[in-house]
Amino acid sequence: MNARERERTSHASGAGHGAPASERGEGSDQLLIAIRSAIAASPNANAAMKQTVQLLKDARPHYTWAGIYVMDGDELVLGPFVGKPSPHTRIPLGRGICGAAATEKSTIIVDDVSADPRYLACSIETKSEIVVPIMNGPDVLGEIDIDSDQPAAFGADDRALLEQVAPLLAEALSDR
Ligand code: SME
Protein backbone atom coordinates (compact mmCIF):
# COMPACT_ATOMS: atom_id res chain seq x y z
CA MET A 1 0.00 0.00 0.00
CA ASN A 2 1.45 3.40 -0.88
CA ALA A 3 0.99 6.64 1.07
CA ARG A 4 -2.06 7.74 -0.89
CA GLU A 5 -3.77 4.39 -0.49
CA ARG A 6 -2.94 4.46 3.22
CA GLU A 7 -4.51 7.90 3.51
CA ARG A 8 -7.64 6.79 1.68
CA THR A 9 -7.95 3.72 3.87
CA SER A 10 -7.53 5.64 7.08
CA HIS A 11 -9.91 8.41 5.97
CA ALA A 12 -12.51 5.75 5.22
CA SER A 13 -12.09 4.31 8.69
CA GLY A 14 -11.96 7.78 10.30
CA ALA A 15 -8.46 7.17 11.66
CA GLY A 16 -6.93 10.40 10.30
CA HIS A 17 -3.86 10.68 8.04
CA GLY A 18 -1.58 7.73 7.42
CA ALA A 19 -1.99 4.04 8.05
CA PRO A 20 -3.11 2.54 11.35
CA ALA A 21 -0.56 2.97 14.15
CA SER A 22 0.04 -0.78 14.16
CA GLU A 23 1.39 -0.52 10.61
CA ARG A 24 3.29 2.75 10.91
CA GLY A 25 4.94 2.32 14.29
CA GLU A 26 5.12 4.93 17.05
CA GLY A 27 2.74 7.91 16.85
CA SER A 28 4.20 11.20 15.63
CA ASP A 29 3.67 12.96 18.97
CA GLN A 30 5.63 10.35 20.92
CA LEU A 31 8.32 10.26 18.25
CA LEU A 32 8.69 14.06 18.34
CA ILE A 33 9.01 13.96 22.13
CA ALA A 34 11.69 11.27 21.86
CA ILE A 35 13.59 13.24 19.22
CA ARG A 36 13.34 16.49 21.20
CA SER A 37 14.73 14.77 24.33
CA ALA A 38 17.51 13.04 22.41
CA ILE A 39 18.58 16.32 20.81
CA ALA A 40 18.51 18.11 24.18
CA ALA A 41 20.68 15.37 25.71
CA SER A 42 23.17 15.40 22.81
CA PRO A 43 26.58 16.92 23.55
CA ASN A 44 26.95 18.35 20.04
CA ALA A 45 25.20 18.83 16.69
CA ASN A 46 26.66 15.66 15.21
CA ALA A 47 25.31 13.53 18.06
CA ALA A 48 21.92 15.30 17.77
CA MET A 49 21.73 14.50 14.03
CA LYS A 50 22.84 10.90 14.60
CA GLN A 51 20.18 10.29 17.25
CA THR A 52 17.51 11.89 15.09
CA VAL A 53 18.10 9.75 11.98
CA GLN A 54 18.26 6.59 14.08
CA LEU A 55 15.00 7.39 15.91
CA LEU A 56 13.25 8.24 12.63
CA LYS A 57 14.35 5.07 10.89
CA ASP A 58 13.52 2.85 13.88
CA ALA A 59 10.03 4.31 14.19
CA ARG A 60 9.03 4.30 10.53
CA PRO A 61 9.39 0.97 8.69
CA HIS A 62 8.97 2.67 5.29
CA TYR A 63 12.09 4.84 5.87
CA THR A 64 14.73 2.69 4.17
CA TRP A 65 17.48 5.31 4.30
CA ALA A 66 17.51 8.36 6.60
CA GLY A 67 20.22 10.98 6.53
CA ILE A 68 21.04 14.62 7.10
CA TYR A 69 22.96 16.88 4.74
CA VAL A 70 24.61 20.01 6.15
CA MET A 71 25.19 23.15 4.08
CA ASP A 72 28.84 24.02 3.46
CA GLY A 73 29.18 27.04 1.16
CA ASP A 74 27.12 26.11 -1.88
CA GLU A 75 27.34 22.37 -1.32
CA LEU A 76 25.37 19.94 0.82
CA VAL A 77 27.66 17.62 2.77
CA LEU A 78 26.40 14.27 4.01
CA GLY A 79 26.35 14.06 7.80
CA PRO A 80 24.97 11.19 9.92
CA PHE A 81 22.82 8.62 8.10
CA VAL A 82 21.29 5.19 8.67
CA GLY A 83 21.18 2.78 5.71
CA LYS A 84 23.58 1.87 2.94
CA PRO A 85 26.47 4.27 2.24
CA SER A 86 25.59 6.84 -0.45
CA PRO A 87 27.95 7.81 -3.25
CA HIS A 88 26.60 11.38 -2.94
CA THR A 89 28.56 12.74 -0.01
CA ARG A 90 28.73 16.29 -1.48
CA ILE A 91 25.87 17.66 -3.58
CA PRO A 92 26.14 21.09 -5.26
CA LEU A 93 23.04 23.27 -4.82
CA GLY A 94 22.08 22.89 -8.48
CA ARG A 95 21.97 19.10 -8.40
CA GLY A 96 19.61 16.33 -7.28
CA ILE A 97 16.35 16.45 -5.37
CA CYS A 98 18.49 17.56 -2.42
CA GLY A 99 19.91 20.54 -4.31
CA ALA A 100 16.43 21.46 -5.55
CA ALA A 101 14.90 21.43 -2.04
CA ALA A 102 17.72 23.63 -0.73
CA THR A 103 17.33 26.05 -3.66
CA GLU A 104 13.54 26.20 -3.37
CA LYS A 105 13.74 26.26 0.45
CA SER A 106 10.78 23.92 0.63
CA THR A 107 9.96 20.25 1.09
CA ILE A 108 10.04 18.05 -2.00
CA ILE A 109 8.25 14.67 -2.17
CA VAL A 110 9.00 12.45 -5.18
CA ASP A 111 6.62 9.50 -5.56
CA ASP A 112 8.62 7.85 -8.36
CA VAL A 113 12.31 8.75 -8.43
CA SER A 114 12.79 7.04 -11.81
CA ALA A 115 10.46 9.61 -13.38
CA ASP A 116 12.28 12.66 -11.94
CA PRO A 117 15.20 13.88 -14.06
CA ARG A 118 16.72 15.69 -11.04
CA TYR A 119 17.13 12.46 -9.06
CA LEU A 120 20.65 11.35 -8.09
CA ALA A 121 20.57 7.60 -7.45
CA CYS A 122 21.78 6.45 -4.09
CA SER A 123 20.53 2.87 -4.21
CA ILE A 124 18.98 0.86 -7.05
CA GLU A 125 16.15 -0.16 -4.67
CA THR A 126 15.02 3.41 -3.91
CA LYS A 127 11.55 4.18 -5.30
CA SER A 128 10.50 7.40 -3.55
CA GLU A 129 12.08 10.23 -1.57
CA ILE A 130 11.27 13.17 0.71
CA VAL A 131 13.66 16.05 1.36
CA VAL A 132 12.91 18.65 4.05
CA PRO A 133 15.11 21.75 4.39
CA ILE A 134 16.43 22.73 7.83
CA MET A 135 16.02 26.51 7.94
CA ASN A 136 17.29 29.27 10.20
CA GLY A 137 15.20 32.24 9.09
CA PRO A 138 16.01 32.67 5.38
CA ASP A 139 19.14 30.48 5.56
CA VAL A 140 19.31 26.80 4.69
CA LEU A 141 21.42 25.03 7.34
CA GLY A 142 20.92 21.58 5.86
CA GLU A 143 18.20 19.06 5.12
CA ILE A 144 16.60 15.83 6.18
CA ASP A 145 16.64 13.27 3.35
CA ILE A 146 14.61 10.06 3.53
CA ASP A 147 14.48 7.35 0.83
CA SER A 148 12.03 4.47 0.64
CA ASP A 149 12.10 1.19 -1.26
CA GLN A 150 8.30 1.56 -1.57
CA PRO A 151 6.85 3.71 -4.36
CA ALA A 152 4.96 6.84 -3.20
CA ALA A 153 5.84 6.03 0.40
CA PHE A 154 5.65 9.60 1.72
CA GLY A 155 2.44 11.46 2.47
CA ALA A 156 1.15 14.42 4.45
CA ASP A 157 1.89 12.72 7.77
CA ASP A 158 5.59 12.27 6.90
CA ARG A 159 5.83 15.86 5.71
CA ALA A 160 4.18 17.13 8.92
CA LEU A 161 6.46 15.01 11.11
CA LEU A 162 9.70 15.94 9.34
CA GLU A 163 8.77 19.63 9.10
CA GLN A 164 8.49 19.59 12.90
CA VAL A 165 11.80 17.76 13.30
CA ALA A 166 13.65 20.24 11.04
CA PRO A 167 13.36 23.25 13.45
CA LEU A 168 14.66 21.07 16.30
CA LEU A 169 17.72 20.28 14.19
CA ALA A 170 18.04 23.94 13.18
CA GLU A 171 18.41 24.79 16.85
CA ALA A 172 21.00 22.04 17.35
CA LEU A 173 22.93 23.15 14.26
CA SER A 174 22.95 26.85 15.07
CA ASP A 175 23.55 26.60 18.85
CA ARG A 176 26.68 24.51 18.90
N1 SME B 1 18.61 11.17 -4.08
C2 SME B 1 19.28 12.38 -3.65
C3 SME B 1 20.74 12.10 -3.42
C4 SME B 1 21.03 11.64 -2.05
S5 SME B 1 20.78 9.98 -1.81
O6 SME B 1 19.31 9.74 -1.92
C7 SME B 1 21.24 9.58 -0.31
C8 SME B 1 19.08 13.48 -4.66
O9 SME B 1 18.54 13.25 -5.73
O10 SME B 1 19.48 14.61 -4.39
Domain encompassing residue 24 = 3-175
- 19 has a pLDDT exceeding 70: no
Task: Locate the ligand 1 atom nearest the alpha carbon of residue 81 and give its number.
Answer: 7
Backbone φ and ψ of 121, nearest 5°: -75, 135
Alpha-carbon dihedral 31, 34, 40, 43, rounded to 10 degrees: -110
Total structural domains within the chain: 1
With cut-offs at 50, 70 and 90, classify the pLDDT of residue 24. low
CATH (domain of 162): 3.30.450.40
pLDDT at 25: 62
> pLDDT (tens digit, 9 = 90+) per residue, 121-148?
989 999 999 999 999 999 999 999 999 9
How far is ligand 1, taken at its centre, from the CA of residue 108, in Å? 12
- In short, whether 143's Cβ falls inside 6 Å of ligand 1 is no
Q: What is the pTM of this model?
A: 0.87
Q: Which residues contact 123 (CB under 8 A, 6 or more apart)?
A: 64, 65, 83, 84, 86, 147
Task: Locate the ligand 1 atom nearest the alpha carbon of residue 98 and give its number.
Answer: 10
Burial class (CB in 10 A: 0-12, 13-18, 19+), 124: exposed
